[in-house]
Amino acid sequence: MNGMFIDTSLCVGCRGCMTACKSWNELPGEKTTFTGSLQSMPDTTPKTYTLIKFYEREENGRIRFDFFKQQCFHCGDAACEKACPEDAIYHTKEGAVVRDYDRCIGCDYCQRACPFNIPRIDTQNKKMHKCTLCFDRLENGEIPACALTCSPGAIKYGNRDELWEAAQKRLAEVKKEYPKANLYPSDKNALGGTGVFYLLINEPEFYGLPAEAKLKTTFSLWHDVVRPLGKIVPGIALGATVIAAVANSVKKQREEGHGE
């Protein structure tokens, strides 16, 4: 299986990957407002699948920028896929996690389930949008547009096992200058093995990532227990009770999210 390795120590913040993504996916430009940061916009959107985030810090009296390429991790055991009540999210044979446009109802359960808060819901067409890993390019033997464009070589695509081995060697080198450097996720098999993994020069929390990426129990229960049970015995009280519990949990998460 192939995968993508993003080495943040090599990223120069040129945003060529963002431009390539927009171009290949025919995504429109978006009007932004300057907020005092060189970062293009605060977050990804239904029309911006990947974003180079700028993290400003002072080092030896000088301003330094650290960069992070925000995008979908394309998890092997994808929380968004488990959460989708319409089975609109699936894996391609190349390992990309993609959405079936016609089946998607824009319920946002995928966004609530994702450990990295990646899916974005277009409130106008009621559809979920996110990085597709350029699955249409992969199907034709090409690599993702962002990896093809990255001139510093910070984005690499190829055999996942070989990339992981190369990443470990690279980490040993980077740690000499950045002692906090780490591979993320640290476990090669986390979330079923993510199709995208990183070399970070700081702790995951510095980039707004969870220290430990794992599925939320509520959505695993929904996909692995409640839904199969409901198909077999849809009328039993137990099934109704559990479904109600899951629904209440989701409702609570949504209310908490909107209240932030």
Is residue 150 annotated as involved in ligand binding? yes
Same domain, 221 and 202: no
Per-residue pLDDT of the chain (260 residues; tens, 9 = 90+): 999 999 999 999 999 999 999 999 999 999 998 888 889 999 999 999 999 999 988 888 888 899 999 999 999 999 999 999 999 999 999 999 999 999 999 999 999 999 999 999 999 999 999 999 999 999 999 999 999 999 999 999 999 999 999 999 999 999 999 999 999 999 999 999 999 999 999 999 999 999 987 887 666 666 666 666 655 655 544 455 445 555 555 555 555 544 44
Is residue 88 annotated as involved in ligand binding? no
Is residue 80 annotated as involved in ligand binding? yes
The Cα angle at residue 95 between residues 29 and 170, in degrees rounded to 5: 85
Same domain, 194 and 238: no
Is residue 107 annotated as involved in ligand binding? yes
9-54 pLDDT, tens per residue? Answer: 999 999 999 999 999 999 999 999 888 888 999 999 999 999 999 9
Is residue 72 annotated as involved in ligand binding? yes
The Cα angle at residue 245 between residues 241 and 251, in degrees rounded to 5: 140
Is residue 22 annotated as involved in ligand binding? no
Is residue 17 annotated as involved in ligand binding? yes
Same domain, 70 and 163: yes
Residues 6+ apart with CB under 8 A from 58: 64
Is residue 75 annotated as involved in ligand binding? yes
Residue 46's domain spans which residues? Answer: 2-74+150-207
Residues 209, 68: Cα–Cα separation, whole Å = 11
Q: What is 7-73 written as a DSSP string?
A: ETTT-----HHHHHHHHHHTPPP------SSSSS-SS-BTTB--EEEEEEEEETTEEEEEEEEE---
Same domain, 167 and 184: yes
Is residue 84 annotated as involved in ligand binding? yes
Does 100 reside within a domain?
no
Same domain, 66 and 165: yes
Is residue 6 annotated as involved in ligand binding? no
CATH number at residue 64: 3.30.70.20
Does 20 reside within a domain?
yes
Same domain, 189 and 156: yes
pTM, full prediction: 0.86
Same domain, 13 and 43: yes
Domain boundary among 166, 185, 207: 207
Tally of domains in the chain: 2
Task: Say which amino acid occupies 244.
Answer: A
Is residue 223 annotated as involved in ligand binding? no
